[in-house]
Amino acid sequence: MTVVSMTVNGKAARADVPDNTLLVEYIREHLRLTGTHVGCDTSQCGACVVHVNGKAVKSCAALAVASEGADVTTIEGLANGEMHPMQTAFKENHGLQCGFCTPGMVMTATDMVARYRESGKTLDEAAIRSELEGNICRCTGYHNIVKAIADGASKMASS
């Protein structure tokens, strides 16, 4: 057991957890933030993507104890009173059907928009599709997800 402290969605979180606790287990089962999903549990599907110190990571392939001192944002921390522009874009573009992959899709989307903005690169359709390599959706065929991300990127730029 190890005492681990981190900031999750702006709030301090501290717990004594077994060393083999995955970050996603800590988020879901200790903090009860169940918006972060476990899809494949083999780091293929991306339903568990959260931001750790501002970077998208698969929380099923990270240890809670290794995230000591980290600043973690989950899907619950994205909205600030009202929906995040990327969440609005997913809603307006019908970027989801069952919704299971959506938390990971949205966290991946906001990460890619931030990185492309920072590096000055253009986030066109091909780039969005390539960036979604690590996120799997079994419902939509991705088309509306790609449209939602493009729309969300422009909403984020103007918000």
Partner 1 sequence: MYETKYHKASSVDEAVSLMGAADDGKLLSGGQTLLPTMKAHLAAPSDLVDVSGIADMNGVGVRGNVISIGAATTHAEVAGNAALQNACAAVTDLAANIGDPAVRHMGTIGGSIANNDPAADYPAALLALGATIKTNARDIAAEDFFVGLFETALEDDEVIVSIGFEAPEKACYAKFPNPASRYAMAGVFVAKTAGGARVAVTGAGDDGVYRQSDMEAALDGNWSAGALTGVSVSADGMLSDMHGDATYRANLVKVMAGRAVAGC
What is the contact surface with partner 1 in residues (CB under 8 A)? 2, 18-20, 22, 41-44, 46, 49, 55-58, 61-63, 65-66, 68, 108, 111-112, 115, 119, 131, 133-135
Q: In this structure, how many other beta carbons lie within 10 angstroms of the beta carbon of residue 134?
A: 14
Comparison of 33 and 107: residue with beta carbon closer to partner 1: 107
Interatomic CA distance for residues 120 and 88, integer angstroms: 24
Residue 119: CB minimum distance to partner 1, A: 7
Nearer to partner 1, 21 or 140 (CB): 21
Closer CB to partner 1, 91 or 138, in the complex = 138
Shortest distance in whole angstroms from residue 57 CB to partner 1: 5
| Number of Cβ within a 10 Å radius of residue 43 | 14
Tokens 């600030």 sit at which residue? 80
Tell me whether residue 91 or residue 125 sits nearer to partner 1 (CB atom).
125
> Minimum distance between the CB of residue 81 and partner 1, rounded to whole angstroms?
28
Single-letter residue type at 82? E
Cβ partners under 8 Å of residue 106, min gap 6: 75, 78, 84, 86, 87, 90
- Considering the complex, what minimum distance in angstroms separates the CB of residue 109 from partner 1? 11
Q: Is the CA virtual torsion 63, 65, 69, 72 positive or negative?
A: positive
Cβ proximity to partner 1, 41 vs 124, nearer residue? 41
> Whole-angstrom Cα distance, residue 14 to residue 12?
7
Q: How far is the CB of 82 from partner 1 (least distance, A)?
A: 27
Report yes or no: 35 and 74 within 8 Å, Cβ to Cβ.
yes
